[in-house]
Amino acid sequence: MKPEMTLQLMDTHAGGDVSRIVTGGVGPLPGSTVRAQMEYLRDNADGLRTLLLKEPYGIPEMSVDLLVPATDPRAVAGYIIMEVMGYPIYSGSNTICTATAVLEAGLVPKLEGQQHFMLESPAGLVSIEAMVHDGVVDAITCEGLPSYIQTHRASLRVPGIGEVEYSVAYSGGFYALVDAKALGFDLTLSEERALARTAHAIVEAIQGERCFSHYALGDVGPLPFLHFMGPVEPVADGCFRSRSATYVHPGVICRSTTGTGTSARLALMNLEGRMKPGDSLETISLRQTRFIGELTSVAMEGNYPVVRNRITGKSYVIARSDILVNCDDPMVTCGGLSRILSRR
């Protein structure tokens, strides 16, 4: 069979979370901002997301980042994030992977030492700091979204589990934050499936009981994330460490602790008086991978103390490939792909 369309991909991972960076094969999208282009893709060509996150091309534990031209002249590129739950407007791990791909693809010259550039996400401009050593991207530090605690220590009864105490943060999406020990977890890899089942039940219960609205953005959709928090260990003055695990609804435990999950932890620890500007938290995943979140400042916005933060991690390029798309394949649901993909 002669494939009708081709996508160029650079597969990367940060902390174990695989991000498939779409570097070519997609035509220009309508929209005067990256956010508007994301909304067009979501509403008219969701087949790109489902194609790359389902068999035979991928699995739901992956995510996809589509490189698009920036609409803000200060940014070198734009990117649209796609996950099993839909289209988050921001993601730390996806930003780390996209920034690495932009350097490795030559869209930004890779310079030795520290360099800075801007990317445009659906949430807006993101400042990137890249550290390059001997031609290798050793670390990416990116701005996390301003984060705050919308609900502090609420409780609800979850079928099959019982009474669960949780807080809700916004850090690019709404997060339920729960104490892992209180739910019987040590946050080890052997618990991964049980963590997913527990998180699924809690998120379903919260979604069934409550809706959440951002103080400035309004309705940003139902709560899709849950973050299991391990005990916090002081490492040095102003430096902390904690085992963590992030769940994405439905059914996915992330391989990394996630940037937005780490940002949510910073907001909670600040609200509870356990962190202040200048402090940092290293989150450690079930697979022993790590992100570092730094709390940079706090300011009141509306009725909430809103935390500015930075997330540092490392991304690895693991593959470069062409994906051949044939809409006659019974395993493929094209879902509007003909509107956006370039034909061979």
Counting Cβ atoms within 10 Å, is residue 114 exposed (0-12), middle (13-18) or buried (19+)?
exposed
Residue pair 77/67 in contact (Cβ under 8 Å)? The answer is yes
Q: Which helix (H) or strand (E) holds 198?
A: helix 192-209
Residue type for position 67: L
HSE-CB at 21 with a 13 A cutoff on CA atoms is 30
Q: Which helix (H) or strand (E) holds 338?
A: none
- State the helix-helix crossing angle for 92-104 and 259-271, rounded to 10 degrees: 140
Q: Annotated catalytic, 213?
A: no
Taking the C-alpha atoms of residue 191 and residue 188, their distance in angstroms, rounded to an integer, is 6
Residue 74, Cβ neighbours under 10 Å: how many?
A: 11
Give me the catalytic one of 63, 91, 167, 171.
91
Residue pair 117/108 in contact (Cβ under 8 Å)? The answer is yes
Taking the C-alpha atoms of residue 43 and residue 38, their distance in angstroms, rounded to an integer, is 9
Active site residues: 91
